[in-house]
Chains A and B, each alone.
Chain A
Amino acid sequence: MSETTCFHCGDVCEEIIQIEEKSFCCFGCKTVYELFAENDLSCYYDLQNSPGAIPKEIQGKYDFLTQQNIIDKLLEFNDDGKQIVTLYIPHIHCSSCIWILENLHKLNAEITASQVNFGKKTVRVTYNSTNFSLKEAVLLLSKIGYEPYISLEDYSTGKTNINRTLIYKLGIAGFAFGNVMFLSFPEYFQVSGFWIEQYKVVFRWLMFAFSLPVVFYAAQDYFISAYKGLRAKLLNIDVPIALGILVLFLRSSVEIIFDLGSGFFDSLTGLVFFLLLGKFFQQKTYTFLSFERDYKSYFPIAVTKILKGKETPIQVYDIKKGDRLLIRNEELIPVDGILMNGNAAIDYSFVTGESETVQKQSGDNLFAGGKQTSGIIEIEAIKSVEQSYLTQLWSNDVFEKNKEEGFTTLTNAISKHFTITVLSIAIIATTFWLFFDASKAMNVFTAVLIIACPCAIALAAPFTFGNLLRIFGKLKFYVKNASVLEQLASINTIIFDKTGTITSNKKSTANYEGEQLTTEELVLLKSTLRGSNHPLSRTLYNILDAQNIVTLDHFEEHVGKGMTARYDNNNIKVGAATFVGHQEDKKVLNTTVHISANNSYKGKYTFYNKYRKGVSKLFNNLKKNFDLAILSGDNEGERENLKKLLPAKTKLIFNQKPNDKLEYIHYHQKEGAKVLMVGDGLNDAGALAQSNVGIALSENVNVFSPACDAILDASKFNQLDAFINASQAAIKIIKWSFVLSFIYNSIGLYFAITGQLAPVIAAILMPLSSISIVVFTTLCTTVLGKKLNR
């Protein structure tokens, strides 16, 4: 059977809707297509095949956008009938998306301009606010399948300023470096002569002028960091760098003031330029990913409050104890509350990692972070947002802690010895010259400090890790920063979450036990399941082989129990054991769905987690070098299954609450373990923050993952060991670069100690060492990346 895919969204069509020889999976997709075709925008489909998304049902969801205080927080600009708003749209993924979103003005004339930032997945819309509103803009976007994501985070952060200082500094250093280089050439090439004697003063003072912004602006971070390091009694890598820059500048200034020589301004500006280049290279950011997410990015910005029978949207922070709130289908419960009305089926997977929905009766307690999955409910708030169970997890100290502090990087570890060695060499050499030829002593002292400036050492790590970050990024492993890679290389314990991490979120398998069902019964079962929106029904419906679908004569769903259906005098009951009239087996912890037909019990479907591809192989690869453990929020139903799958010494721990996971990791860290935590949900957020390296696994990196150090695409999960090995290899590369740079330093020191360091030697040696380190590390990491690709 050939499958027809939707022209708009690319999904497989179950029922085909055809117009103009194009097929669509649903009326939503068809409507979007018609809308685009009417407005001469069908080019959308030429740029990329089926680029669209099915527009979702959004009735009433954006009513809160009529509230002035919320609008004010979201708008970037609001004046004179013109408003500008930047909206985050997760669906942006291809060039068609850019094209259609930048042609919004053709769909509605009130929109004057729209600009997409592909990296950040945002669109900045400018519109006429006299005839148009923010709500209408959001509705228009939702209507064409580009639903913006507006969360509590947008409310609290406000407008963030982009930090561009590094680009400015790099620009200034590069500008000065180039000019100083040219200005110093005359003296290098014409050492004596009437011409140079006449003009060298001009050249020198121009170079001095160019170096001023470099020393006092571009290099200021190194001085600040060195000062902070010294105050904390740490000799970090910035101490010798700052010392080198300072000595270079002072000696050069003294030389030109007293007409002793041309100074080292070219080396000075070159040094700062290369160092900043390293910083810039290391600063690979994935603008569309966020590693700092807390509950705020998951929570809605507003919720519907019921006051005297009237529905009004209110801001989530304004919820007070005792407020009546309306939660629609698929909405998140923002506060702890009591269920007052309606059928609650809450998906707590964010909070506990438990994959199944929980049925609640009127009067039961509901916790914040749960997602309502069946219809509309009414709750009464019993706490405010900040005091809710889930949000309290974020008050734990681990979220305040900066992981980079307290971790000594390889570079800083080396720099401690390096600084002491260089200072002693400088002092010994100076003392020697004081007795031998005192006029040269100061010269030698400064020369040693200049030539020993650890530019190459400081560049080795940024370029190695920076390049590796990019390689990993291409392989869908997104690492927050270079320091994380270094920590990843040092771990010895790996802890996995179960649900959603080693199991797949969407797929599960089911086994049937009991009397064989007849074809007729199977048809009836599948048709019955089709009518239900319960997650288990949906799963089972998808597992069952394609059968004919019949229109049922009778169908009734009993919430929390199951459903009954009738067709052609055949009755069927699907649901919990007691509902279909069967004795429940208390020992079985797995999820089951029981079936009875024509009042006789037939059998049950037992659901099992489906593990990700390659889990077993991955664990076997890892077990040689790491301690492995699984921490699950689920019950022990899968223990036997896991035991079969995983190496024998893997620890399996079940029924772990978010805080238990955090404590477990904390305990092992105290025992000296360096822990890598791999998790996926908000329930792992504490553990991810506590661990040395927290990796969040994500089926779709555009959707949200909790605060972490790295995000790994689920499809690459089985390559985790390769990533760890690569980061360990990177450490080796850095160590080799250190050896290389020590060789350069020794050559330079020979010139310095013997008192023959001419500016031209420094000007050749310093860039040469920096560039060769950059080339060496880049080549090595590229080779490493090639190996990973295989």
Chain B
Amino acid sequence: MAKMGMVFDLKACIGCNACVVACKQENSLPDGVFFTRTLSYEHGTYPNTRRTYIPTICNQCEDAPCEKVCPSGATFTREDGIVMVDRDKCIGCSSCAVACPYDMRTMLDKDMFEKGLFGTGELTPFEKQGYERFTPGTSVKCDFCSQRVDAGLDPACVSTCPTNARIFGDLDDPNSAPSKLIRDRDGRQPLPEKGTKPKVYYVD
């Protein structure tokens, strides 16, 4: 059984945010909704300071707290390990949002779909067709672009990354690119102490 996961190479990430834009475009995300964010972190003491970019995304946890707390069964895990949300079952209780230690859930508000990308109140044809996939009042999150994965493609953020800072693949396959990176460069999971077993790793 495949276990799809992702590795972020912190040495390679330059903070260009191309992944963020590609994600918004691929998923037609409305104003204020991000499935991935590239966070910046300044550390060190002057004059020896550095800025590191830390991409974040839904970690598709093996022991997903969002799935456990969901009272309607809207959140579920596919056979390949991708955690999905069934928008027709979601009741909008936000319990998944408060249960996610990574703050990677977003509740869709009706207002998000009314302003439009240009703030004029008129939706472009791109927005009109893209917004059909969303239901206001429900919860959304990254699903590794499951529609692309099903078609044998990488998620949009991975395909777009100009520095190969995002590596996607099957973590159950010891010869896959992410598995090798995790093994060779001591990959670490975000907030392992939360016990969620993320399928996203960081190497630096």
Are A and B subunits of one complex? no
**B contact residues vs A (CB 8 Å cutoff):** none
**A contact residues vs B (CB 8 Å cutoff):** none
